[in-house]
Amino acid sequence: MLSQYARHRGQDERPIRYFAQDESRFGLHTLMGRLITACGIKPIGQWQWLFKAFWLYGAVEPATGESFFLQFSHVDTECYQRFLNEFSDAYPDSLNVLQVDNGRFHKGKALVVPENIILLFQPPYCPELNPIERLWEHLKASLKWAAFKTLDQLQVKIDQLLAELTPQVIASLTGYSFILDALSALNTV
């Protein structure tokens, strides 16, 4: 796989940037989590079983903590195409490697990958290899036991949480040492 990037680099003088990309569902169904209570006492909290949701598509750069997010109502090739196009427009001066899982829509026949993006597919059934999964956990930890009446209220809260994320926090969550070491070696080649 590295030879593919080396060939690209030989033909293209743009810097290579590595991003981890994924999608996560955020909905009105209450996320339950641990609460500190007295021994033998079950936690008490409001919760609801509403199944309205939206999807947050995101890409993060572990080396710098830079991020790019878009919200969609669902997950499919058409939404992913829009995400790729807007991501490509946001980072036009670099060759962007996006680590993605093996979702069907990542490989859709109708999908046209922009010329400044290379999709790097991680092994199947290995979400722990994608650093953005830790960011999703971080965001959802702030939503435990929260009950929102409407999707709009939840979207406002997600927007607030994303605005509070600093590049330092994102880099600390997603900067796996094996990825940073590989990127460092790539930059010395």
Q: Which of 21, 19, 27, 32 is nearest to 133 (CA)?
A: 21
- In the prediction, which pLDDT does 41 show? 75
**Chain position carrying tokens 């069907």:** 104
- In the prediction, which pLDDT does 169 show? 96
Q: Which of 13, 21, 16 is nearest to 5 (CA)?
A: 16
Q: Where are the domains of the chain?
A: 2-28+50-182
Degrees (nearest 5) of the Cα angle 187, 162, 166?
A: 50
Taking phi over 0 as left and psi of -120 to 50 as alpha, with beta for the rest, 125 belongs to left
Pick the CATH number of 2-28+50-182 from 3.40.50.720, 3.30.420.10, 1.10.20.140, 3.30.470.10: 3.30.420.10
pTM: 0.81
Q: Which of 179, 129, 163, 181 is nearest to 22 (CA)?
A: 129
Which tokens belong to 162? Answer: 């994303």
CA 50 to CA 81: how far, in whole Å?
A: 29
Degrees (nearest 5) of the Cα angle 24, 93, 21?
A: 15
Tens-of-pLDDT digits for all 189 residues of the chain? 444 545 554 566 889 999 999 999 998 765 556 666 778 877 666 666 667 889 999 999 999 999 999 999 999 999 999 999 999 999 999 999 999 999 889 998 999 999 999 999 999 988 889 999 999 999 998 888 788 888 899 999 999 999 999 999 999 999 988 888 888 777 655
For residue 168, give the amino acid letter. Q
